[in-house]
A and B are shown apart, each in its own frame.
Chain A
Amino acid sequence: GAVVSQHPSRVICKSGTSVKIECRSLDFQATTMFWYRQFPKQSLMLMATSNEGSKATYEQGVEKDKFLINHASLTLSTLTVTSAHPEDSSFYICSAVRDKRYFGPGTRLTVL
């Protein structure tokens, strides 16, 4: 069964609003979670590494103030897309490591 859950699966929002995406590890503790962005027919692009109890590590070119990451507990990491714009529309996927790397089901964000 799934070991990483993600919520919501789909979200549509207006330009300028903020959207929060939750990623949970099920039945295991994940001190580190990974957030990816995926455009249609493209690979997974690592946005940031979320670390429990400390600041996230962002990849080059990813705006920290726009994509806020909080890893408040050992089973929950959140990604908040602030002041969303149409170009932020994408498929966002989180991931965590147990024995192997597991991915959440993804969140389809559409910004109107």
Chain B
Amino acid sequence: GENVEQHPSTLSVQEGDSAVIKCTYSDSASNYFPWYKQELGKRPQLIIDIRSNVGEKKDQRIAVTLNKTAKHFSLHITETQPEDSAVYFCAASTDGSARQLTFGSGTQLTVLP
């Protein structure tokens, strides 16, 4: 089955700097890649997603890039703010939807004021 690896497990950045979280996947048939943000004690929430027919997608300060050849995708957060502090999960799906998702292990992002 699909295996998703996520790095780093923890990441600290200064407010205003950029943060990058990387994920690799094993199944070349994967075609949908969402990213979730989970604040402490709260539900994971979708922040951005990308499909395999697109190489990059941006939404304000958040962007995701996908390299199908290398089977990896990354989350980029620019101009980080303290409220960006949370755990971020990547995921991959082979059915083009959010039904069958394999999650990464998560990255604890801390934005230092």
Residues of A within 8 A of B (CB): 4, 32, 41-44, 91, 93, 97, 100-106, 108
Interface residues of B in 60-113 (CB under 8 A from A): 87, 89, 97-99, 101, 103-106, 108
Count how many chain B residues have C-beta atoms less than 8 Å from C-beta atoms of the other chain: 20
Least distance between B50 CB and chain A CB atoms (Å)? 13
Residues of B within 8 A of A (CB): 34, 36, 41-46, 49, 87, 89, 97-99, 101, 103-106, 108
B interface, by DSSP: helix, strand, loop or mixed? loop
A-B contact count (CB 8 A): 42
On whether A100 and B98 interact (CB within 8 A), knowing A43-B105, A105-B43, the answer reads: yes
Least distance between A101 CB and chain B CB atoms (Å)? 3
A43 B103 Cβ-Cβ under 8 A: yes
With most chain B CB atoms within 10 A of its CB, the pick from A4, A41, A43 is A43
On whether A103 and B104 interact (CB within 8 A), knowing A97-B97, A97-B98, the answer reads: no
- Apart from A44-B44, A91-B41, A104-B43, what are 14 other A-B pairs with CB-CB below 8 Å? A4-B43, A42-B105, A42-B106, A43-B104, A93-B43, A100-B34, A100-B46, A101-B99, A102-B46, A103-B36, A103-B43, A103-B44, A105-B42, A106-B42
